Every structure is written in C-alpha cells, then in structure tokens.
C-alpha cells in the first residue's frame, strides 16, 4: 500500500485525535526511518524522547526476545523473576529507595498524585479531602481527566469537565509564586525540570534549588516529572541534576522502555512509598516480566554507552550551530543536551512539513516552536547532515 492509502484507511477507521505529519513509517533503525514507499528519513523526534537508545536497539531487542521465550505476563497476582531485578536496577540507577512500576507516563503521574495525597493525609495529617497539589502553568503531564484538570491548555480541557479539584496552578519558573501558594493543606509541588510540550521552556538558573528549599521548609513533597527530560536526554541522567538537588518523588517513562515496551515508574523513599498497602493501587500489566526486561536493558544501554555524555557534547554542538543560522524567522534557540527548541515568528508546522519532504522529521509544539530531539545514538556527522537540511529553509 502507498503512503496515501495507509493514511486514508487510518482516517476512515481511526479517531481523529491526532494531527500527524503525512508520513507512514514502515521500517526503522537507529536514527533513520523509511516510509511505506521506501523513502528514507532522519528521525529528530524520537517518539517524544521514548527512543533515546535509537530505533530497534539491538541490545534491548536481544534481551526482550530472550524474555519472550520465557514468560511475558503474570499480573501482580503472582511474583515473577524479572520484576525484582528491574526494581533493583532502576533504584540503583536513580538513587531512590523504592519504585512502583506502571506502563505509561500518564499512569505514573496518576500514581504519584495518589501517593502524594495519601502521604498528606496519613503522614502530614492534612484534613481529609483537603489536600492541595501545586503545579505550573503551561505544564504537560498527560491527558487523563485528573491531569487535564490542572492543564492551562484550553484544548486539552474543552468538553471534558467536570474536573478534579485539589490543584493550584502557578507561574512556571517563579519559585516565589510556589512559596505564596503553599498553605497548611499543600502536600506536593509537581513540575517538569524543563517543559517539553510547553515549548522547551528552561526555567531560570536556581529555580529548582529554590523550590527544593521551599518545599523542605514547608514539609511539602517535591515531585519531578522527568518522563521526557530523564534518562540522559539533557546531558545528565536526570535534568534535576543540573541544579544539584534531589526530589522526593521522581516520575519516569518513555525511554525507560527502550522504545520497545511502555514502561513507567514512580520512585521515592521507603517512608513515602509506605503509604501504599495491598489493594490501594495497581495495574495488570505494570511490572510485567517483558516490560521489566526491556527496562533493565534500556538502563544498561544508557550506562554502558554513556548516552548522557553524548547528549551533552552533541547537544552543545547542535545548539551552537543552530544559533549560527542567520534568519529573520528564528526568534530563539534553546535547549539542554539533545532536547532543543527553535522558536519562530511564524507557525512551525509549515517548516516541519517542508523538512519532512526533504527527509528530516521533526514536529511543532505550541504552534511556534520546532522541537529537535533525536535519538541519543546520533553521530556528529548525522547532526551535520540534519543541519544542512535545516539551513536550506532558513
């Protein structure tokens, strides 16, 4: 079938809740993909940072195939022999004491919200049904009813009310706004170290350090959503490491599954995680042996191949070269590691489509920003190839 034929069938049978670029990917390897008609493209999106280790990573696929031949699913009604190894690995990799595995990023965020509320009631002794969680404007944490309840994006909320109460939205990057919003019922602050969907927004230097100080002083949990920014994407294993702090709760997903399986996790201390008792929370597929095998391999590959260092060095180079492009349409180039946004004075979709036709895949975010976030296995030569394409249109 041709690209157009696939798209026509998709539009006929699928809900129209996405507006993808008009490309049909049928094969992929590393940083490259091929469409249904055999044309080759460079992937500069990485499935929103779920493919940090590259498409069809051989090491991860080998480990997952080995697990496929043993056992794939048990549910949490029984123990399996792969989950304990995954929990140990992700805790050692991150430096946290305990982990609760789920599947998607949104599930992990919901898990963290439930944990924070229960911690507030049972440990902080907040009055029942009064817990407040502070979040940032322009956030993106997923699309469940509770999560969109504190979104500031009108489209994400349109037609989906009534909304879940208990959230206070403050300006992103303003630590004093958080300080002022805290009251006796505040149990947590949940933010992204860098707002990805929001347009690659990097907060002022010292913001996370100050928020960490404020939350500690007020016995409030600091929960960081590193679903997109974590696992070597920004040049460190976790973006919060740029500020030399550590949150109380860390939320991971996307690249944790190595681009093979949906794997997410909430990490915290024994004291905080102990609020969960059998029956409080769960998932049939969360912690399944196949996903656990993928998660272990995904973390091992990041470590063995020093992907954080690669992202740091290649990201600095990529940003520098993008800033050297002289164009009246480029307002700003910002990024950390290989999470980069190019802000334009015109709609970015037009440029994403032009670059697609020339063999480079990226995507617009918040209308005016082009996001460049290639797999971290990309080489300098491949970045130079991409820069040649980008320069053609600016």
Dihedral sign from CA coordinates of 55, 59, 63, 66: positive
274-310 CB burial, b ≥16 within 10 A, e <16 = ebbeeeebebebbbbbbbbbbbbbbbbbbeebebbeb
Of the residues 35, 43, 225, 248, only one is catalytic, namely 225
Active site residue 140: yes
Active site residue 276: no
Nearest to 187 by CA among 154, 145, 220, 140: 220
Of the residues 86, 93, 96, 140, only one is catalytic, namely 140
Residue 385 CB-density burial (10 A; 0-12 exposed, 13-18 middle, 19+ buried): middle
Active site residue 254: yes
126 CA to centre of own chain? 30
Of the residues 93, 254, 276, 318, only one is catalytic, namely 254
User: Long-range contacts for 309-315 (Cβ within 8 Å, ≥24 apart)?
Assistant: 309/235, 310/232, 310/376, 310/377, 311/232, 311/233, 311/234, 311/235, 311/337, 311/338, 311/376, 312/235, 312/236, 312/337, 314/338, 314/378, 314/380, 314/383, 315/234, 315/235, 315/339, 315/340
Beta strands, E only, the chain: 25-29, 32-35, 40-43, 98-102, 132-136, 167-170, 186-191, 221-225, 249-252, 264-268, 330-336, 339-344, 360-361, 363-365, 369-372
Using omega within 30 degrees of 0 as the cis cutoff, is the peptide bond preceding 275 cis?
A: no
- What's the CA gap between 357 and 264, in Å, rounded? 34
Angle at the Cα of 132 from the Cα atoms of 130 and 136, rounded to 5 degrees: 160
> Mind telling me the catalytic residues?
140, 225, 254
């Amino acid at each position: 079938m041709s690209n157009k034929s696939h798209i026509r069938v998709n539009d006929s049978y699928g809900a129209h809740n996405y507006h993808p670029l008009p490309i049909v990917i049928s094969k992929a390897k590393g940083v490259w993909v091929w469409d249904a008609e055999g044309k080759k493209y460079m992937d500069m999106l990485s499935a929103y940072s779920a493919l940090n280790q590259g498409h069809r990573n051989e090491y991860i696929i080998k480990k997952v195939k080995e697990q496929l031949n043993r056992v794939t699913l048990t549910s949490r009604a029984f123990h399996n022999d792969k989950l304990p190894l995954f929990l140990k690995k992700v805790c050692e990799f991150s430096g946290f004491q305990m982990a609760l595995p789920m599947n998607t990023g949104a599930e992990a965020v919901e898990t963290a919200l439930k944990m924070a509320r229960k911690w507030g009631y049972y440990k902080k002794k907040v009055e029942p049904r009064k817990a407040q969680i502070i979040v940032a404007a322009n956030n993106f944490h997923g699309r469940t009813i509770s999560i969109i309840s504190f979104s500031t994006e009108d489209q994400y909320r349109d037609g989906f009310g009534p909304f879940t109460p208990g959230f206070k939205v403050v300006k992103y990057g303003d630590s004093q706004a958080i300080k002022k919003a805290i009251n006796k019922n505040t149990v947590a602050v949940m933010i992204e170290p860098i707002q990805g969907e929001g347009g690659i927004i990097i907060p002022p230097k010292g913001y996370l350090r100050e928020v960490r100080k404020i939350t500690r002083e007020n016995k409030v949990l600091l929960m960081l959503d590193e679903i997109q920014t974590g696992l070597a994407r920004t040049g460190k294993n976790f973006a919060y490491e740029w500020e030399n702090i550590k949150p109380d709760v860390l939320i991971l997903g996307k690249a944790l599954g190595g681009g093979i399986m949906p794997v997410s996790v909430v990490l915290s201390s024994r004291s905080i995680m102990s609020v969960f008792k059998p029956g409080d929370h769960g998932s049939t597929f969360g912690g399944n042996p196949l996903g656990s095998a993928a998660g272990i391999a995904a973390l091992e590959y990041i470590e063995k191949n020093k992907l954080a260092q690669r992202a740091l060095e290649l990201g600095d180079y990529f940003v520098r070269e993008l800033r050297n492009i002289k164009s009246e349409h480029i307002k700003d180039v910002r990024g950390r590691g290989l999470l980069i946004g190019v802000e334009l004075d015109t709609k970015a979709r037009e440029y994403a489509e032009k670059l697609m036709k020339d063999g480079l895949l990226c995507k617009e975010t918040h209308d005016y920003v082009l996001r460049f976030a290639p797999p971290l296995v990309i080489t300098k030569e491949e970045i130079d190839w991409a820069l040649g394409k980008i320069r053609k249109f600016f």
